[in-house]
Structure 1
Amino acid sequence: MDKDVHQGFETLAIHAGQEPDPVTGAVVPPIYQVSTYKQDGIGGLRGGYEYSRSANPTRTALEECLAAVEDGSRGLAFASGLAAEDALIRTVCKPGDHVIIPNDAYGGTYRLFAKVAEPWGVSFDPVPLNDVDAVRAAVRPETRLIWVETPTNPLLGIADIAALAEVARGAGALLAVDNTFASPYLQRPLTLGADVVIHSTTKYIGGHSDVVGGALVVSDAGLGERLTFHQNAMGAVAGPFDAWLTLRGIKTLGVRMDRHSANAEAVVEMLTRHKAVTKVLYPGLPEHPGHDVAAKQMKAFGGMVSFRMASEEAAVRVCERTTVFTLGESLGGVESLIEHPGRMTHASAAGSPLEVPGDLVRLSVGIEDVDDLLRDLETAFS
């Protein structure tokens, strides 16, 4: 089915790139578990396929669907979110260039810049992206990329995508938005002026904690071609089974995000009233400094919640006492997860300007019965 801008999100998620199989009529794209393809003579490719690093029909279906749900022209699927990030950096940057990143970015992103990109010759500055003037002041002549997370991981900061897009354009730089926490169901960065959308499809898009993947989506065809070249040249592509699982996850993304968001709002309401919690970080709260921007650019506020306790010991104790909330890294699956970012997902940022507070707890609120989630947290606090 060709992309139709008049079709709703759920329709695109279920049908875009996923025509019934022309031979059998199967309504789900097959898993093309194949490495190479028969050619009809030298250079006579059937459907453009020659080798599955370059293209695979199952991955093509996923990439077309990703482009449709993000309102882009080109989607690219990778073996992981960090593989997608690395491909983007090496496509648009060269040694001597400069990047602005969030001062509360995901720990893996910080590690990629600090330990891989910077030794390669790309410098970066962590900046509070909720302060547009601070971002503008951090721009240099060699700035090629402004890297945005909104909401951020794990402090749930909010950046104004449209405002930062103007800053990027004025600087001759690209604006890349990590849309993992919001998902394309809740937020469409390309429609707000971003140049590139990044996803760890492991998270909400896949949605079932059973596949690792990443994605880039762009509007500009030329940028899409450059990224496609690097995707093939570097080779960190999504395998056909991983692509199939991710595509399956996209189909239910809309209904899952509605439930994630509703459950998270109930959890936030409980946390804000609990005496053991010193602060709740959630963009849906009116007192959140990014609430108005989030309400403007997001359909709902998502399933990620962070909160602070009186001490690091108290935070660790809560993480270790839940039973419905599983202690584990990652996020965005149907099951609820709890973690201590300082000792787990963001340990790589310890001692850096991006170090997270030791008293912080992060929740990925799943789609279980909300009363069970609330009881579980109450018991862990007691």
Structure 2
Amino acid sequence: MKLVVQVKLLPAPEQAAALDATLRACNAAASTVAATAREIGCYRNYDLRRQAYHRIKTDYGLGAQAAQHVIKKVTDAYAALAANLRAGNYGKPGSRRRHKVEANPIMFRWDAAQPYDARMLSWQHDVGTVSIWTVHGRLKPVAFTGSADQLKAVATHPIGESDLVHRDGMWLLYATVEVDEPQVYEPSGFLGVDMGIANIAYDCDGTRYAGAELNGYRRRQQRLRSRLQHKGTASAKRLLARRRKKEARHAANVNHGIAKSIVIEAARTGRGIAVEKLTGIRDRVRLRKPQRVTLHSWSFQQLGAFLVYKARRAGVPLVEVDPRYTSQTCAGCGYRDKRNRPDQETFHCRSCGVVAHADHNAARNIAARGVVGWGAVNRPHAA
């Protein structure tokens, strides 16, 4: 399986200037290619290369590999845009926002990531340096650093494409490495995980992840955002941008911790992990206005993605199940009624009388559906 590893470059001032010039040239070229693609209606990599390759090499001083990566970056960006349009993420057909996106070419920030392959970037792991192509020639050596795990990953696994990124004054390389994927074991059962608003995750063993403390943090961030947005000054907007990044990093850190704990518990007990399908969660749930802000400010999809890749690395089976009616169905007797949920936290079965935490009950239902789903896929002809 492929993993992305982040390492930090430590360039000298003249090296940093060359990297800066390289990103600016590559992204200026990408914006030119994107405008050409929109003008002639050509979005296929090979066809667009015939139209733009020689021009951007000459006008922007790019090498052959860099020019090809720039063109591919543009075609990938238009493919992502088309997918978002099909999904309705830019509004309905005919809306002002959608029309603006469809009519204007994609523009690239000067510091947008630039892909590098093995011909443009080589690693010297014994001395902790890289040799990297720039518009001012090859830079070598450029020192890099990272955590022990990151350095071990890039030193011991095959490295594929890497991205050069400038973020918050730092130069970073995001390297794609190929790691061995362990054999998935046959689970003795499933650890069901319910994801929600009041509790980010709640498993069928009764373990609650990131409840009141995290919600308090999110409410404080929401109040601060509201005050800064209302103020509207330039300094307030700069602070908003910094706070946004801080909150995103905090969310990612919490999601990593939750996913790691769940995978460790499943592996320790020999079970698989059953989670609800998160696709369309924002369209599926109906919430009061204060809860909508909370829903849209937390990345449930990110938590699901972390669970998937951590489970794969540990060889833990993972299945996604249909989440419909898991919160209304009794995990004990199977009776379903919307009146089984008198409030957000409480589940009270109107048939057998059992009382439980609503998220715990839903997690037990998800675990049961995980067993059924795993058997349907892996033992379809079992008696």
**TM-score range normalised by the length of the shorter chain:** under 0.3
Q: Which has the higher strand share?
A: 2
Q: Which has the higher helix share?
A: 2
TM normalised by structure 2 equals 0.25
TM normalised by structure 1 equals 0.25
